[in-house]
Amino acid sequence: MRLILLGTALLLAACSGEKTADTAPDGGVAASNFTPPATQLPKPIAGQAQTTPITAYIGKYPHDAVGGVGFFDRTDVANGLIAAVGDETLRRRVRDRSGPETPIFKRGTQVAAWGCEAHNCGDHNWTVLVEPGGKTEVCYHDTEATGDRSRWYAGGAPILRAGACPTEG
Q: What pLDDT does 98 receive?
A: 84
**How many Å apart are CA 41 and CA 54, to the nearest integer?**
19
Edge-to-edge strands, sheet with 136-142: 105-107, 110-116, 124-130, 136-142, 149-153, 159-162
Q: Is the pLDDT of residue 1 over 60?
A: no
Write the class of the CATH domain 52-169: alpha beta
In tens, the pLDDT along 60-108 reads: 999 999 988 999 999 899 999 999 999 999 999 999 878 899 999 999 9
* Closest C-alpha among 91, 56, 88, 92 to residue 71: 56
Band (pLDDT 50/70/90 cuts) for residue 19 is: very low
Q: What pLDDT does 3 receive?
A: 46
Query: Within 10 A of 136 (CB to CB), how many other CB atoms are there?
Result: 23
- Asked whether the beta carbons of 135 and 96 are under 8 A apart, the reply is no
Domain positions in the chain are: 52-169
Higher-pLDDT residue of 58, 7: 58
Q: What pLDDT does 20 receive?
A: 46
- Asked whether the beta carbons of 144 and 166 are under 8 A apart, the reply is no
In tens, the pLDDT along 125-141 reads: 999 999 988 899 999 99
Whether pTM > 0.75 for this model: the answer is no
